Amino acid sequence: MTNSSNKPTTLFWVIGVIALLWNIMGVFAYLRQAYLTDEAKALLPEAEQAYYNGVPAWVTAAFAIAVFAGLLGCIFLLMKKKFATSLFILSFICVIIQFIYNFFIQDFVELNGSNMAMPIVVIIIAVFLVWYSKNSEKKGLLT
C-alpha cells in the first residue's frame, strides 16, 4: 500500500494547514520569549520574572528545536515528504524535554490547572502530528 500516486484528501490539506498555522504560532511564542526585553520582564509577576531569568540554555534550545522542527515538519507534510515524520518526532522529543523542566525541575512558577492547559494541548498536538504523519506514510501519501 505504498503507492505514491495516492491523492491526499481535503482533510489532509486542512490538517496540514492548521498544523502549519499552529506551528507558526509556536515560532512566534519562542521568538517572543527569546527576545523578551528587560523592560517587558519587569512588567511580569515576580515568579514569571524569576522563571525567565532562570531558564537554562538547554530548555531554550529544546523550545527552539521543537517549534522550528514542527514548522519544517508541517512544510514537509504539505510537500508530501516522509521527512515530515522525522521532524515531528524530533519536535515531540524536544517538547517533552522542555516540559520535563517546566513540570518537574523549575520551581519559579506554580503549575495549576489554568497554566497546565496549554502544555497539555501542545503535547497532544505533537503526538497527533507524529501519528498522523506515520499514518500518512502508511497510506502512501508521503514519499
Is residue 89 assigned to a domain? yes
Is residue 41 assigned to a domain? yes
pLDDT reading at 73 higher than 50? yes
Identity of the residue numbered 89: I
Is residue 4 assigned to a domain? no
Overall number of domains in the chain:
1
- Between residues 64 and 112, the one the model is more confident about: 64
Q: What is the pLDDT of residue 111?
A: 63
Residues 6+ apart with CB under 8 A from 96: 123
For 4-57, the pLDDT digits (tens) are 458 999 999 999 999 999 999 999 999 998 898 888 888 888 877 777 777 899
Is residue 113 assigned to a domain? yes
Structural domain span for residue 54? 33-138
- Tell me the C-alpha distance between 59 and 41, whole Å: 18
Angle CA(5)–CA(9)–CA(13) in degrees, nearest 5?
110
For 90-130, the pLDDT digits (tens) are 999 999 999 888 887 766 666 666 677 888 999 999 999 99
**Cell output for 102:** 517546566
Phi and psi angles of residue 14, each rounded to the nearest 5 degrees, phi first:
-65, -50
In eight-state DSSP terms, residue 44 is S
Is residue 143 assigned to a domain? no
Burial 42-55 (b: 16+ CB within 10 A, else e): eeeeeeebbbbeeb
